[in-house]
Amino acid sequence: MAEVGYGIARLPAGGRREALTPAAGRVFHALADKVPPFDEAAAGAYPEVVTERERQGARSAPSTR
């Protein structure tokens, strides 16, 4: 969720950012009880996991397909 919020915040001010902000909020709210918390352990592991996947040429998040 933080990455999505960051991406939206980086958009130039305007209609796209204004539309995505509440839309993302609705999605986050709908998923609140379905997504495990991003706790301190996950936050600590995240940089290493993402940089290793980038080194391997993979996306930052594994595909669910």
For 2-38, the pLDDT digits (tens) are 889 889 999 999 999 999 999 999 999 999 899 888 8
Check residue 37 and give its pLDDT: 84
Check residue 3 and give its pLDDT: 83
Judge contact between 1 and 8, C-beta under 8 A: no
Check residue 18 and give its pLDDT: 96
Residue 50, classified by CB atoms within 10 Å of its CB into exposed (0-12), middle (13-18) or buried (19+), is middle
> Whose CA is closest to 1, among 29, 12, 15, 17?
29
pTM equals 0.59
pLDDT tens column, 44-62 = 998 998 889 889 987 655 5
Listed by start position, the domains of the chain span 2-55
